[in-house]
Structure 1
Amino acid sequence: MRDFQLPGRSPVLSAHGMAATSMPQATLAALDVLRAGGNAMDAAIAAVAVLCVVEPQSTGIGGDCFCLYAPAGERRVVALNGSGRAPAGASMDYFEAHGISALEATSPHAVTVPGAISAWETLLAAHGSKSLDEVLRPAIACAEEGFFVSSRVGYDWESAAGKLRATGATSFLPGGNAPRYGDRFVQPHLAATLRAIARHGARAFYEGEVAADMVDSLRRRGGVHTEEDFATGRTAAHFVAPIRIGWHEYEVWQCPPNGSGLLVLMMLGILGGLGPAPDGPLGITRWHRQIEASRLVYRDRDAFLADPLQVEVPVAKLTGPDYLAGLRRLIRDDATVADLPAPGETLLPPHRDTVYLSVVDRDGNACSFINSLFEHFGSGILAERSGVMLHNRGLGFRLDRGHPNCIAPLKRPLHTIIPGMVTRNGEAVLSYGVMGGHYQPFGQTSFLANYFDYGLDLQEAIDLPRVFPFGGKVEVERGVPAALCEGLARLGHVVAPIDRPHGGGQAIWIDRSRGCLVGASDPRKDGCALGY
C-alpha cells in the first residue's frame, strides 16, 4: 500500500467494466461504449480514435497499431498486426541509385502506408459488436468541436514545433506557435476524414480523395508512394499467431515480429532463472541484472528482428531455454559484461511515441491496444486537405543490403510498439502496456517484475522511477535514488539523467476470485483509469 502522506494515486476498482488510457476523454469514450452495451473491442477502438484527435503528437489515423485480444471464455489470445508496408517502389536499387544512405525522420521515405484504419475495421468485423460509424462518433466530435490541450500534450507539442515548421504543417502551429496548455485546438479536415471512414469504412481512407491527398503530399516531397500502394494497404492488417513464454504460474503473451514483444519474453526468460533480486525493486542488483539482460536481447533485436513474411526470424531459438540460459550465464552481479558475444551466439555453440490503452468489459473480454505515429508528430508530413499526419515508422528499416531488416517493397519495418497480455490457466488476468519507443520491452519487463516479483500494487508498479540503457548509457529519471545511480556506476554503467520521462503505461488486473477489476494509469501522461 502506498504512503498516503506522499503524492500519488491509488489503483481504481470496479465490477462491470474498465478502461485505462492516456487521456481522460478517451477513457470516458470507452466507458460510454461499454455502458451502452458495447464490448471491449468496440470501446478500445472508440478510445484510440479519440486519442488520434486529442493526443496528436503521439498517435493518429496516419499511423500503425498492434492488438492483443482475449475473448471471454475461449482460453486463447488473439493477435493482430496493424503495421503498414513500404511502398512497392521502396527498393535498395532505388535508394542506392539516388545516393540515399540513411532515412531521415521527416523524409517521405520514412513513411510506410499507415495500417491503423485497416486494423480497426478488421478488428471490429471479427470481434466487435458495433460499427465504425458508432465507435468513431466521439472522435469526430472532438475533432469538430476541438479539445483543450493538456499538460503533457502541450509539453510534447512545443518540443516538436521546429519539426512542424520545417515540414510546413502550419495548421498545427496556429499563430505560428504550438498551442499551449488550455488552448482549444480544432481539426475540421480530420473530422471530415473520420466522417468518411465512419460512413464508408476503411476504403474511404485507402482509396479516393483521402488517399490521393496523402500520396500527393508524399510525392511532392520525393516519395515513391502510389495510390495503388494505399489501395493495397486497405487489407494489409492481418491476424497472426501470438508468441508466449511461461513465467511463474502465468503465461506472458506478445505479438510476434515485426513487433519487439519478442524482447520481453527473452528478458523474462533470462531474469526468471535468477529469481527476484535480494535488494528489492529499487536495488542495485535488481536493475544491474535487467540492464545486462536488455543489452543482450536488444543486440539480438538489431540483428534478427524483421518482417517474418519476407525473412526468417528465429523466434523459437531466441526464446528457447538453452539459448536464454546461455545468455543468463553471461550476467555477473559484480560487473558489467565488457564484451558482448556476437548476435545469436552465447557461450553455448551457435545453433533498434505512442499511445497504449487497455479495456475489459463486463463479460471478461480483454483488449490490449497500442497505436502510434512513432516520433512526435511522426514524419511531420501533413496531408492538409484530409488532416492526416503521417507517421515515420519506416525509420525502423535498415539501408544495409542483405540485412534481415533492410527496406524492401511491401515490407514491414521493425516496430517498437507492443501490447501485452498475461493469462493464468488460459484466462486473461492482466491487460497491460508500456509506451516509449525503444523503451517498451524494457519497460514491460520492469512493470511485470515490479508487480509480480516485488509485490508493488498495480499503480505503484507503473509509478516506480525508471531507468533504461540506451546509446551506451543508463538513462535515469529524476526520481531514481542517488544510491542506485552510484551503485550502477561502480559496476561499470555510465549513468546519465534525462529531461523527459521514460514512456507511459496502463494496466488492468482481472481479479477473478473477487470479481473485481483493478486499473492503473501512468502519471507520466495525462490519462486515467476508470470503471463502473
Structure 2
Amino acid sequence: MASDGHPLPLCVAASRVRPPGPSGGPAEGGWRCRTRRLPQSLGFVRWSTAGGEWSLRPAVVAAAAAIGVAEPYMSGLAGCGTLVLTPPDGPPRVLVFLGRAPSGATPDRFTGGHPDAGPLTPAVPGNLAGWARALSDYGKLSLSHVLEPAIELAERGVPFTPFDDQMFSESGSRLTPEGTATYYHDGHIPAVGSLLAQPDLARTFRRIAAEGIGYLYGGSLGHAIDRLMRDRGGLLTEGDLRAYPETLRWTSPIHTTYRGVTVYAPPPPTSAVQALETLNILDTFNVSEAGHLSPDHLAMVAEASRAARMDTDRYVGDPAFVDVPVARLLSPDHTGELRAEVDRRLREFQVAGTPGGGVGAGGTAEGGGMASTTHLAAADASGLAVNITHSLGHGFGSGVVVPGTGVCLNNAMHWFSMTPGHPNVVAPGKTHEWPIAPLHLHRNGRFAGTIGTPGSYGILVTTVQVLVHLLDFGLNLQDAIAAPRFRWVDDVGDPLPAQVMRMESRVPESTRSALAGRGYEIDLRGPWSMRVGGVQGILADPLTGWLAGAADPRRNGYAIGW
C-alpha cells in the first residue's frame, strides 16, 4: 500500500526450492506474498498502485489468474479453490469454489479402477466462477480489466525456471498430445531460461474478457469441453458447466481458539476442520515446555494431527450429501477423547517404543508425484485481508488440455471414494473432501494474520506447525515458516492411520534418533523439502496497523510490503 493509504495487494504462494531468504519486515500499508517470480510481483505492485479502482480485491483475482499462467501445472481457470476474506469492519467470510462431480459420475463408471489422469478425472471447474463471484461482490473493476495481467503473461511468455523443469519432468507424462503441444518446445521440455508462452490460453482469456464467464460455463468453451469428453469417454458436460456458477454461496468460516488467538478456517467440504481439531488437542498440552524441535514437541504435534486425520476420513465430506458433525468434532468433549488417545500413544512410544521404527533416507531429490496447488494472500492497512488456495489436483491435473484453448482440466474426481457408505463416495453434483485450509487469525475481534500453504494432506499439519512455532515458541513469522517441518504420509492411497513421517534433515539428529527409537518410521528428506509445503503468511499488529509478510524458502515465493 502506498504511503497515502491507497490499498495494495498481495501474497501468493508457489514452489521452487531455493535457499532461505531474509526475514520478513514490517510495512505500514500492505503486504502481498506470492510464490512466483519477482518481476511479476513488481508488475502487480504497479497495477495495484496506479490509482483509480485498482485495489487489493481485484488485484487478488488478477494474481490468481496470472499464477495459473506462470505455473500451469499447479492451477488455472479450470481448477478448483477456496477463498477466505476478512473485511475491514466485519467477520470473515468464505467462498468455496471446489469442483463438483459431473451429472454422470457414479461408482459404476469407475469399474476400471481409480484413475488419476485422463477424461474420467475432470470435475466441474470452479476457479473462474469463484474469481468472478469474488470480483462482482467485492471488487469495482470488470473481469476484462482484471484479466489483463494474465493475458499479457500468456502472450509474452514467462521465464522457465529450474523448478518448472522439475515439475515438467515429474508430471509432463500425464499430458495428452494437445497438452504436450501447448507447453513443450518442439516436443521437448522447454530449456531453463527460455520463455514459456501460451498464445492459445491468451486467446481464451480474451474471449472470457469479452463474453464473461459464460464462455466456459455453457458457452463456446463449455461446448468444446463437452464434445471432447464425449469423444474420449469422459463425464463432464456442457450442462454440468452451465449449472455451476449458481451453486456458489458465501458462507461463514468455522473456528477455534488457540493460545488466545481465534483461528478461522473454511468449513466442509474442505477438511480444514482437521487443523482446528489438531490445535484443540495441542491447546491442552504445554507444548513450549517440551522445547523447540525436541522429540516431545514433534511427537505431540504428530500424534494430535494423526488423531484428527482419522476423523477427516470418517466424517468429512460434502455437507449437502452427508452430515459432517463439525460442532461435535470441535467440542471440548471430543477434544478430551482425542487427547486421551494421544496420551495413550505418547506413553506407549516413550516407555518402550514400537517395533519397526527407524530413519530411512528419502534423499535430497524431490522426485515423485505430488498434488499441485498454489496459495496467495494479501492484506492492506484498512484491515482487509484475503487468501486463496487453489489447485488442479495433481501436476497438470487430468493432463487433458482442450485443443486450441490452452485450458488444462483438473483431476478432482481422483479424490472421490468408490467405497459404498464412505462420506466421499462419488455421486452426481457432489464435492469431495478437499485438504485445503487458508486460515485467518484474529485477536480481540480484529484481524491479526493469515497462514496458508499448498501441499495436499500435508497442508493440515504444516499450518499447525507454523502456528505452534509462532504462538508456542515465539518465533517471528519468517522463522516460523522456515523452521524444519515434517508431515505424515497420508495422501489418497496411503495407509490410514498414517505410519510414516516425512521429515526434513534440519530437524536435529538427536530428535530424529529419539523419535526412531520410540518407534516412529521416518522418511528423511533434504534440508529444504517442498514436500512439507510452501507457506505464505501475513501478520498484522492491531495496535499499530503495521503488517509483516513472509514467504517459504522451500519454494519460489515472495513477500512484498509497501
TM-score (norm 2): 0.87
Q: Is the 8 A contact 1:12 1:530 kept in 2?
A: no
Render the CA deviation track for 1:479-506: whole Å, top value 9, x for unaligned: 2222221111112110112465222011
Partner deviation per Cα, 1:291-347 (whole Å, 9 max, x = no partner): 1111111111111111001111111111111101111122234444999xxxxxxxx
Q: Report SS of the residue matched to 1:130.
A: coil
How far apart, in 2, do the equivalents of 1:258 and 1:185 lie? 35
**One-letter amino acid matched to 1:50:** A
Matched, 1:482 2:512: no
Check if 1:376 corresponds to 2:392: no
Residue correspondence of structure 1 range 146-225 to structure 2 within 5 A? 146-164=157-175, 169-225=180-236
In 2, the alpha carbon distance for the partners of 1:335 and 1:285 equals 13
Deviation at 1:77, TM superposition (A): 0.3
Q: Residue 187 and residue 199 in structure 1: after superposition, are their counterparts in 2 closer, same or farther (change >3 A)?
A: same
Task: Write the distance in 1 (CA, Å) between the matches of 2:472 and 2:88.
Answer: 27
Partner of 1:68: 84
Asked if 1:21 corresponds to 2:34, the answer is yes
1:110 aligns with 2:121: yes
**Would you say the 8 A contact 1:30–1:44 is kept in 2?**
no
Partner residue of 2:539? Answer: 509
What secondary structure sits across from 2:152 in the alignment? Answer: helix
Judging changes above 3 Å, is the alpha-carbon distance between structure 1 residues 327 and 149 closer, same or farther for their aligned structure 2 residues?
same
1:7 to 1:357, Cα distance in 2 relative to 1, 3 A: closer
Amino acid at match of 1:237: L
* 3-state SS of paired residue (1:429): strand
Deviation at 1:168, TM superposition (A): 5.5
Find the counterpart in structure 1 of residue 460 from structure 2: 441
Cα separation, partners in 2 of 1:469 and 1:166, compared to 1, 3 Å: farther
Whole-Å separation in 2 of the counterparts to 1:236 and 1:154: 37
Aligned-pair distance for 1:12? 3.3
Structure 1 residues 450-471: Cα deviation after superposition (integer angstroms, max 9, x where no partner): 1111111101111111111214
Which position in structure 1 is the counterpart of 2:309? Answer: 298
Which runs of no fewer than 5 residues in structure 2 stay unpaired?
Answer: 1-18, 355-370
Distance in 2, Cα, partners of 1:218 & 1:143: 25
Deviation at 1:166, TM superposition (A): 7.6
The alignment partner of 1:306 has SS state of: coil
Q: 1:282 aligns with which of 293, 296, 299?
A: 293
For 1:212, the aligned partner's letter is H
Aligned residue-pair number: 510
Contact 1:434–1:505, Cα closer than 8 Å, also in 2: yes
For 1:349, the equivalent position in structure 2 comes to: none
Identical-pair percentage: 31
Partners of 1:34 and 1:361 within 8 A in 2: no
- 1:48 maps to 64
CA distance in 1, matches of 2:520, 2:22: 32
For residue 178 of structure 1, report the CA deviation from its aligned partner: 1.9
Cα offsets for 1:336-391 (capped at 9, x unmatched): 4999xxxxxxxxxxxx9211011112322100111111211111111122111111
One of 414, 417, 421 as aligned partner of 2:433: 414
| 8 Å Cα contact 2:183/2:198 also seen in 1 | no
Q: 1:359 to 1:180 in 2, by over 3 A?
A: same
Cα 1:281/1:212, change in 2 over 3 Å = farther
Equivalent residues of 1:26, 1:47 under 8 A apart:
no
What code does the residue aligned with 1:58 have? M
Q: Which structure 1 residue ranges, 5 or more long, are not aligned?
A: 1-5, 340-351
Aligned partner of 2:450: which letter? S
Provide the aligned C-alpha RMSD in A: 2.0
Does the aligned pair in 2 maintain the 1:416–1:437 contact within 8 Å? yes
What TM-score, normalized by structure 1, do the two folds share?
0.92
Residues 176, 400 of structure 2: 8 Å contact kept: no
Equivalent residue, structure 1, for 2:556? 526
**Is 2:376 aligned against 1:357?**
yes
Partner-residue secondary structure (3-state), 1:441: helix
- Tell me the SS of whatever aligns to 2:289: coil
Give, in whole Å, the separation in 2 of the partners of 1:215 and 1:315. Answer: 37
Q: 2:147 aligns with which of 118, 133, 136?
A: 136
